[in-house]
């Protein structure tokens, strides 16, 4: 197969995943929240089990007027939603779906690339907050910056632990080195990574930057129509990315109970959707953290736990 054809197929597959997986997660969130909170509306749109709820939401966003505040920095204001989306697309390029090089672009330093790109999300938050010329947006942006910069540290430390255990920064290499007993050995790192990942994508209960009871809708207050929809899409893509990284780093990726490489991609998707369900369940079940609680959890719990796990991993590696 010519190189350019293979490249087009790989990139095309990643783009299809980028456009479809977040929509499936969004539809699942509507249904899970409807069942857990007794919501009737999402169960009736379109007839059977509310199958058209996501379509109705899309039509609603398309019909809304695209408004830019008079005092806003128009160029930055309009660019921010794209900046929120692009990092997640780049991350999906290097996350392996299955064995035998089933990945958009394999990198020997894939984990380093992922952690560097995910950190760009704070730029989109600050762009939208500053450019909106709105005090609620600015407060939300400052909260978002403090939250993202704080939780970046335990996220990186937890990922470093499993990379040290595997002896590689390659995401496929980490999956190949993974062993079932790592579920116990690396469990603290997995919990820290998962919680920090929720904070990075600003999902409840870590949604202080968009606290609607305090800040209208934070850094997204002035956005309408498709631009607002892009921010919501970025949130759902973030769910897929965090679930995929948790799967690849801590849950064995494509490894399943049967030694069948042909079904590796299926095991990866099953694990991704299982982790995504947990993310949705946490949104429904837990109230929003206060700002002091959020920062205390980061600096007094997650950072010490990730450092302790890192020391443990180093000790085990030296012993083995």
Q: Which of 149, 177, 145 is nearest to 252 (CA)?
A: 177
The C-alpha angle with vertex 308 and arms to 305 and 309, in degrees rounded to 5, equals 85
Q: How far apart are CA 187 and CA 109, in angstroms?
A: 23
Per-residue confidence (pLDDT) for residue 254, from 0 to 100: 85
248-274 pLDDT, tens digit each:
999 988 887 776 667 778 889 999 999
Contact at 8 Å (CB) between 129 and 138? yes
Q: Which of 64, 21, 20 is nearest to 227 (CA)?
A: 64
5-62 pLDDT, tens digit each:
777 888 888 888 888 888 888 888 888 888 887 777 777 777 777 777 778 877 877 8
Burial code of 6-41, b = ≥16 C-beta within 10 A, e = fewer?
eeeebeeebeebbeebbeebbbbbbbbbbeeeeeee
Structure-model confidence comparison of residues 191 and 221, the more confident one: 191
Four-point Cα dihedral 186, 28, 17, 157, nearest 10: -20
Contact at 8 Å (CB) between 277 and 246? no
Contact at 8 Å (CB) between 137 and 218? yes
- C-alpha 106: how far from chain center: 20
Helix (H, G, I), strand (E, B) or coil at 302: helix
Q: How far apart are CA 320 and CA 317, in angstroms?
A: 5
Q: Which of 279, 248, 293 is nearest to 150 (CA)?
A: 293
53-76 pLDDT, tens digit each:
778 877 877 888 778 888 888 888
Per-residue confidence (pLDDT) for residue 272, from 0 to 100: 93
Cα of first residue to Cα of last residue in the chain, in angstroms, is: 42
Per-residue confidence (pLDDT) for residue 303, from 0 to 100: 94
202-250 pLDDT, tens digit each:
888 888 888 877 777 778 888 888 888 888 888 899 999 999 999 999 9
| Residue with tokens 């603290």, as numbered in its chain | 188
Per-residue confidence (pLDDT) for residue 249, from 0 to 100: 93
Per-residue confidence (pLDDT) for residue 232, from 0 to 100: 86
| Residue with tokens 């909170």, as numbered in its chain | 37
Per-residue confidence (pLDDT) for residue 1, from 0 to 100: 64
Per-residue confidence (pLDDT) for residue 261, from 0 to 100: 65
Domain boundaries, the chain: 3-319
- C-alpha 68: how far from chain center: 28
Q: What is the DSSP letter of 72?
A: S
pTM to 2 decimals? 0.91
Backbone CA torsion sign across 16, 279, 276, 50: negative
Per-residue confidence (pLDDT) for residue 122, from 0 to 100: 84
Structure-model confidence comparison of residues 314 and 264, the more confident one: 314
């Amino acid at each position: 197969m010519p190189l350019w054809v293979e490249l087009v197929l790989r990139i095309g597959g990643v783009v299809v995943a980028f456009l479809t997986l977040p929509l499936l997660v969004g539809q699942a969130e509507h249904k899970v929240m409807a069942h857990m909170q007794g919501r009737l509306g999402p169960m009736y749109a379109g007839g059977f089990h509310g199958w058209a709820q996501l379509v109705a939401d899309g039509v609603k966003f398309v019909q809304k007027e695209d408004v830019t505040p008079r005092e806003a920095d128009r160029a930055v204001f309009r660019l921010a939603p794209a900046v929120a989306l692009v990092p997640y697309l780049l991350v999906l390029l290097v996350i392996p779906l299955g064995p035998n090089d089933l990945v958009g672009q394999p990198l020997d330093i894939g984990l380093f690339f992922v952690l560097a790109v995910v950190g760009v999300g704070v730029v989109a938050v600050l762009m939208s907050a500053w450019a909106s010329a709105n005090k609620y947006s600015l407060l939300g942006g400052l909260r978002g910056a403090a939250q993202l910069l704080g939780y970046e540290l335990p996220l990186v430390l937890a990922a470093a632990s499993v990379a040290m255990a595997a002896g590689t920064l390659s995401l496929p290499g980490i999956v190949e080195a993974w062993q079932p007993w790592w579920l116990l050995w690396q469990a603290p790192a997995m919990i820290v990574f998962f919680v920090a990942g929720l904070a990075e994508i600003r999902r409840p209960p870590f949604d202080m930057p968009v606290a609607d009871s305090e800040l209208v809708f934070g850094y997204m207050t002035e956005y309408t129509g498709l631009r607002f929809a892009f921010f919501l899409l970025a949130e759902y893509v973030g769910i897929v990315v965090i679930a995929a990284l948790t799967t690849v780093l801590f849950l064995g990726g494509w490894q399943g109970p049967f030694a069948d490489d042909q079904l590796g991609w299926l095991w990866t998707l099953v694990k991704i959707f299982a982790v995504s369900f947990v993310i949705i369940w946490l949104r429904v079940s837990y109230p929003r953290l206060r700002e002091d609680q959020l920062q205390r959890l980061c600096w007094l719990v997650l950072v010490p736990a990730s450092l302790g796990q890192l020391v443990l991993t180093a000790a085990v590696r030296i012993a083995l």
